[in-house]
């Protein structure tokens, strides 16, 4: 049993009376401490990790990618995304503004995946360009949509000045 002895040490001299030492029973507090330790150990081991693995290319030379297989998604303000095929200098398709969700970005990605697969027989490559007006949730939602569409080749890259100009043109910056 755990105890706390709180009687002072006797200094030499006479003892007129004998005092009984006050004893505090600490058993309940020790039990509570073990219960708390057990609870926190169980909750931390049962908690699942919600991270999504991102495969990034190694730091090597630049690779040439056909524009017909490249889809660029620029993340703008107010939960809007601008997407186009090709590069910002001369997009192969008209840039379009969409929102996040099934009818917006997901539908655009799935349509383009199917179109590129039918035309070239190869997988699409997606470039995600977050702007400084977008939120972190927008990037996470975009990566979720890419993951739902089962796209293996994508990259998160810095937004270029021409992409910012496109976002401004469509009032999404």
Q: Is the pLDDT of residue 72 over 70?
A: yes
- Residue 70: name the closest of 56, 90, 52, 98 by CA: 90
Residue ranges of domains in the chain:
67-169
CATH number among 3.30.420, 1.10.3470, 3.40.30, 3.30.1330, domain 67-169: 3.30.420
pLDDT of residue 118: 93
Contact in structure between 145 and 128 (CB atoms under 8 Å): no
pLDDT band (50, 70, 90) for residue 62: low
User: Which of 3-17, 43-57, 62-76 shows the lowest mean pLDDT across its residues?
Assistant: 3-17
Characterize 3-38 residue by residue with b for buried, 16 or more Cβ atoms within 10 angstroms of its Cβ, and e for exposed.
Answer: eeeeeeeeeeeeeeeeeeeeeeeeeeeeeeeeeeee
- pLDDT beyond 60 at 46: yes
């Amino acid at each position: 049993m755990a105890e706390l002895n709180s009687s002072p040490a006797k200094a030499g001299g006479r003892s007129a009376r004998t005092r009984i030492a006050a004893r505090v029973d600490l058993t309940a507090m020790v039990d509570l401490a073990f219960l708390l330790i057990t609870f926190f150990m169980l909750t931390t081991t049962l908690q699942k990790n919600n991270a999504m693995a991102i495969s990034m290319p190694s730091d090597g030379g630049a690779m040439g990618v056909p524009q017909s297989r490249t889809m660029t998604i620029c993340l703008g303000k107010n939960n809007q995304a601008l997407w186009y095929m090709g590069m910002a200098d001369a997009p192969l398709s008209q840039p379009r503004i969409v929102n996040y969700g099934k009818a917006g970005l997901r539908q655009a990605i799935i349509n383009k995946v199917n179109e590129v697969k039918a035309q070239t027989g190869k997988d699409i490559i997606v470039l995600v360009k977050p702007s400084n007006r977008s939120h972190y949730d927008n990037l996470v939602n975009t990566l979720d949509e890419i993951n739902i569409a089962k796209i293996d080749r994508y990259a998160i890259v810095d937004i270029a000045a021409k992409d910012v100009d496109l976002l401004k043109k469509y009032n999404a910056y």
